[in-house]
Structure 1
Amino acid sequence: MEAQPQGPDAYVLADDVSVRKLAPGVWLHVTVVTLEPFGRVSTNGLIIEEGETSLLVDTGWDARQGALLLDWARDTLRRPVRAAVVTHFHADRLGGVPALVPHGIPVRGLAETARIATSLGRQGPWETFTESSTVGSLELFFPGAGHAKDNIVVWHRDSGVLFGGCFVKDGAATDLGNVEDADVAAWPASLARTRQRFPEARVVVPGHGQPGGPELLSHTEALLR
């Protein structure tokens, strides 16, 4: 289906995929899946304008959603995706990667993410790093384990947006959510390293729920106590 504009700063791509402007040059994509017993679960990612192209942070739950995001970036934003980042191995981060492969779009992520994805039979990143890396204007950083042992955060200095992914909980969260693959003991120190490295963060995007500010780091810390 064609993307339906909901005003100049928001678009509905399908009943389970939408995009809205978060900051100048930064778009929040929200993809939804139905999971038992939770019902509809939405997850966040970013599309970052980068000159005449764009960068994709996390890819949706599956190849169809990933393809819709690529189409929107090319046809509506008019900035085709030239590179992508996945922030850990769960399906809400890299489920859309198969849609990128035919276009030759490089996907970067932690070496551990690639290893785990391969062991699970999923398509993971093939450009890998172990501590920090850059993709265009984005800084990728592994702060240590938390929600997962391979979770990374993504910093966009130009906008002051820090994408925390599932490593950071939204302000409405009352618990840590899915901790099946978490390292709860390591998580507080990993949050402290994130805060120390990115003190200029003005907007913090959690993996699920509404973006906020640096208080989301504090809220996540409080949930860990």
Structure 2
Amino acid sequence: MHHILIQKSKANILIIKMIHIILLISLLITTTSNASVQDFCVADIKASDTPAGYPCKAATTVTSDDFAYSGLIEAGNTTNIINAAVTPAFVAQFPALNGLGLSAARLDLGPAGVIPLHTHPGASELLIVKQGHITAGFVSSANTVYIKTLKKGEIMVFPQGLLHFQATAGKRDAVAFAIFSSASPGLQILDFALFASNFSTPLITKTTFLDPVLVKKLKSVLGGSG
């Protein structure tokens, strides 16, 4: 008799556990079915950007035009000190990217053109060469340099946050498109951070070991002060 009671007790416990599991599954199904699924969030760029992105534009005002962007068709102006131009298609230019985790840019490089050492703090980058030849590379956190000369149709990846560059290889113009893993990848160009800012010459000299005369010359070229 005692043995039979133990078996019945175990059976009851098993039934109770099964009921709990069934109730939990039912709750999950109900919660999922009632959840609001949002396909997209076209940015209201008139509002302020936040770490979570822009607020959504009213769905009733969204049209097909919001999901297409023609800003990368035209070549950028390469008549400048770096003989190059970067035309972004980030969320600020293409609001439909808001919350989708990707963006793009067009790179135009004239002969001797260069996109100086820079970083994207918020994204990795995939570079696709459309025209000409481009020498590109990045520096790892272990200070190992990876450089490759790319031709039309070839691609190269630059991991998030690492210093990297692109430069024309040869005497022809080059064009490339960059795809980023964020709608707002961010951009900081090392030369501009040092020599186009108010970072003082004595501190730059102390922290980079550069000659102060050279620092002042570079500041005069790029418009920095201090």
TM over 0.5: no
Q: Which has the higher strand share?
A: 1
- Name the structure where helix makes up a greater proportion of residues: 2
**Larger radius of gyration, structure 1 or 2?**
2
TM-score, normalisation: structure 1: 0.31
Structure with larger RCO (C-alpha < 8 A, sep 6+): 2
Give the TM-score normalised by structure 2: 0.31
